[in-house]
């Protein structure tokens, strides 16, 4: 997946929206206040910055791999001897 793939941008958008929502909930939950008493400027500021950082992270590490995240790069399968399975509870 590269920066020019639609899949990259779909995954990046999903990740950014999820990060913004999580950050907003964290700020709201930290204050444990009512909706009218919530520090909305702080909520929007923190969530917005988290979204920008999520987007910049995806752009910085975007390249070959399954997705925009650092941990989503494909690793080749490990080759080696296959372990035999035990069928029916009997050691064969």
Domain spans in the chain, listed from the N-terminal domain onward? 6-69
pLDDT band at 81 (very low <50, low <70, confident <90, very high): low
* Residue closest to 52 by CA, chosen among 12, 84, 79: 12
Q: What is the pLDDT of residue 37?
A: 78
Report pLDDT digits (tens) over 7-47. Answer: 888 888 999 999 999 999 998 887 766 777 788 898 999 99
Higher pLDDT among residues 3 and 25, named by residue = 25
- The sign of the torsion formed by the CA atoms of 3, 6, 8, 11 equals positive
């Amino acid at each position: 997946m590269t920066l020019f793939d639609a899949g990259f941008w779909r995954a990046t958008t999903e990740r950014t929206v999820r990060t913004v929502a999580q950050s907003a909930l964290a700020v709201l939950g930290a204050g444990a206040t009512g909706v009218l008493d919530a520090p909305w400027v702080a909520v929007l500021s923190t969530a917005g910055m988290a979204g920008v950082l999520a987007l910049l992270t995806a752009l910085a590490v975007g390249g070959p791999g399954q997705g925009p995240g650092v941990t989503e790069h494909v690793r080749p399968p490990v080759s080696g001897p296959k372990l035999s399975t035990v069928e029916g509870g009997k050691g064969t």
